[in-house]
Amino acid sequence: MLVAGASLSLLAPVAAQASDIVNVEEMSGYVRSPKKSSRIDSKTFISEVSEGIANLKGRVDGLEVKQNEFEAGGFSDTTTLDGKAVFALMGTNHSLVQTDGTDSLASAYQYTMNLNSSFSGDDNLYVRLRSGNGTGNFTSKTYGTYLSMGSGYADALEVDKIWYTFPLGDNNTVWIGPKIENYYMHGTTPSIYKPVTKQFTLGGNGDAYGASTDSGFGWAYKADNGFAVSSNVVSKQNETAFGLFTDQSKQSWATQAGYTTDQWSVSAIVNNKYNGWTDGYYESAQHTPSDFVTDVTNFTAIGLRGWWRPAETGTATPAISLGYDSTDYEGSPEASNNSTAWFAGLTWQDMFQADDRIGIAFGQPTMNEDEANEPFAYEAYYEFKANDSITITPTIFGGTNRNGADGADVFGTVLQTTFKF
C-alpha cells in the first residue's frame, strides 16, 4: 500500500493533464471495489499504468505530426514579416482656383507589408506588398502635396518592390531586381531628415536623387573607415514596350561617393538620365526646357549632400541635413540649359518625451536659370508615440510660386496615424 500511494502521487500531474487517458476515479476504485480480493498486486497496477502511458505517448506523437504539418504550410524560419498601416486626414488650400475638388478635406490610407528572406544567412530577398487609396492631393507632384504615405493603388494589394541582394567578400554588396529604385543601392545615406511630403526625401527628391521603381541592378563598396562608393542603373521597361536598356527606354545611371562617421556625413552623386527621363517631386512645372521632349533627351545632375547630428538628443541643437543639385541639359538653349535646387532640414528628437521628433524642412525646388518666379516649399511637423506601436504626426506644409507660376501658392495640413506591427 505504501508503494501504491507513492506511485499514485507521482502520476498525479499526468492525470491532471490527461484524465481521459488515465482515469483517477477508476484507479481509486481498486481501493473501494468489493471484488474477491482487496489486494492491489504489482502486476495489476503496472498493466493499468502502462496502458495509460501508451495512450499518452500516442497523443503526443499526434500533436508533433500536426505541428510539423503547420510549420510546413507556414513561413520559413528564415523569413520575417513586418508592416504598417497609415491613416491620413488632409486639407489644402491653393491660391489659384482649383476645379478638380482638391481644395477639400480628404482621408486616405496606406497598408504595407515587408518580407525579408535569407537563403545563406548573408543574402536577402526583399518583397514589399502595398495597398492604398490616396488620390488627388495625396499623390500630386505639381504643388508638392504628394505625401510619403501616398499610394494610388485603388485598394489593390500589389508587389510594390522586389529585389535580391547578396555580399561579395567583406565590403561589397550587389543588388538586382525587377522592381527597385536607385536610392536603395547607394553606399552613403544622403540625408537623415525624415519627411512627411515626399519632395523632401533624400535631401531634395529632384534630378540628382529622383528615382523610379523599375528593373535595375547595382553595387556598393563600404570600407571599414566610413568611406563608400556605389554605382547602379535602373531602366523604365516596366509597363512599356521599349525593353530593358534600349535606346528607347528611359534610364538612370547613378554613381555616388561618400564618407560617414557617427555624427556627420558628406556625399556627392552624378546621375546620368537618358531618353527623356523626367522627375517631378521636387521641381517646378516650368523647369524643363521647352524643347526637352523633341530635342533634349539626356541630362546630367550633380548632387551634394551632407548631414550632422549632435552627440545627444533632447537638446536645443538640431540635427541638420543639407542638399544642393545642379543639372545640365544636353542640347538645350543656353538660357535654359541649367537648373538648380537646394534643401535644408532640421530635426529635434526626444524634446518633450522619449522618441518624439520635431521636423522642419524648406528649400527651392528645381528651377531653370530663366524662370522668373522662384519656387519655395516648406513643411513642419511634430511626431510623437501614443504607445510602442502607434505614432501620431500633425503637419503643416506649403509653398509659394510652387509650380513656377506667379502666385501659385499652396497651404495644407495633414494628421497621420501610423500603426506598426
The number of distinct structural domains making up the chain is 2
Do 405 and 373 meet the contact criterion of CB atoms below 8 Å apart? yes
Q: pLDDT tens-digit profile of 50-62? A: 666 666 666 656 6
The residue out of 71, 97, 120 marking a domain boundary is 71
In this structure, the answer to whether residues 167 and 67 fall within a common structural domain is: no
Q: SS3 sequence, 184-248?
A: HHCCCCCCCCCCCEHHHHHHCCCCCCCCCCEEEEEEEEECCCCEEEEEEEEECCCCCCCCCCCCC
Highest mean pLDDT among 96-110, 283-297, 393-407: 393-407
| Dihedral sign of CA atoms 221, 222, 226, 230 in order | positive
Percent of the chain with pLDDT over 90: 64
In this structure, the answer to whether residues 250 and 392 fall within a common structural domain is: yes
Residue 10 has pLDDT above 60, yes or no: no
In this structure, the answer to whether residues 43 and 149 fall within a common structural domain is: no
Do 360 and 343 meet the contact criterion of CB atoms below 8 Å apart? no
- Residues 305-311 have a mean pLDDT of 97
For residue 350, the model assigns a pLDDT of 97
- Residues 11-20 have a mean pLDDT of 41
**When comparing pLDDT for 137 and 377, which is higher?**
377
Residue of 376, 352, 349 lying closest to 363 (CA atoms):
376
In this structure, the answer to whether residues 236 and 372 fall within a common structural domain is: yes
In this structure, the answer to whether residues 64 and 146 fall within a common structural domain is: no
For residue 75, the model assigns a pLDDT of 58
Residue 176 has pLDDT above 50, yes or no: yes
In this structure, the answer to whether residues 185 and 290 fall within a common structural domain is: yes
For residue 336, the model assigns a pLDDT of 76
For residue 402, the model assigns a pLDDT of 94
Q: pLDDT tens-digit profile of 345-359? A: 999 999 999 999 999
Numbers of helices and strands, H then E, in the chain: 3, 16
SS3 call for 353: coil
In this structure, the answer to whether residues 61 and 148 fall within a common structural domain is: no
Find the CATH number of the domain harbouring 287.
2.40.160.10
pLDDT bracket for residue 6 (50, 70, 90): very low
pLDDT bracket for residue 330 (50, 70, 90): confident
The residue out of 34, 51, 71 marking a domain boundary is 71
Q: Which three cell numbers stand for residue 306?
A: 551632407
To the question of pTM greater than 0.85 for the whole model, the response is no
Do 178 and 238 meet the contact criterion of CB atoms below 8 Å apart? yes
In this structure, the answer to whether residues 266 and 413 fall within a common structural domain is: yes
Domain span at residue 65 reads 2-71
In this structure, the answer to whether residues 63 and 166 fall within a common structural domain is: no
For residue 279, the model assigns a pLDDT of 87
In this structure, the answer to whether residues 141 and 217 fall within a common structural domain is: yes
In this structure, the answer to whether residues 161 and 247 fall within a common structural domain is: yes
In this structure, the answer to whether residues 89 and 39 fall within a common structural domain is: no
The residue out of 71, 101, 126 marking a domain boundary is 71
Q: Which amino acid is at 139?
A: T
Q: Based on the number of CB atoms within 10 Å of its own CB, is 189 exposed (0-12), middle (13-18) or buried (19 or more)?
A: middle
Q: What's the mean per-residue pLDDT of the chain?
A: 84
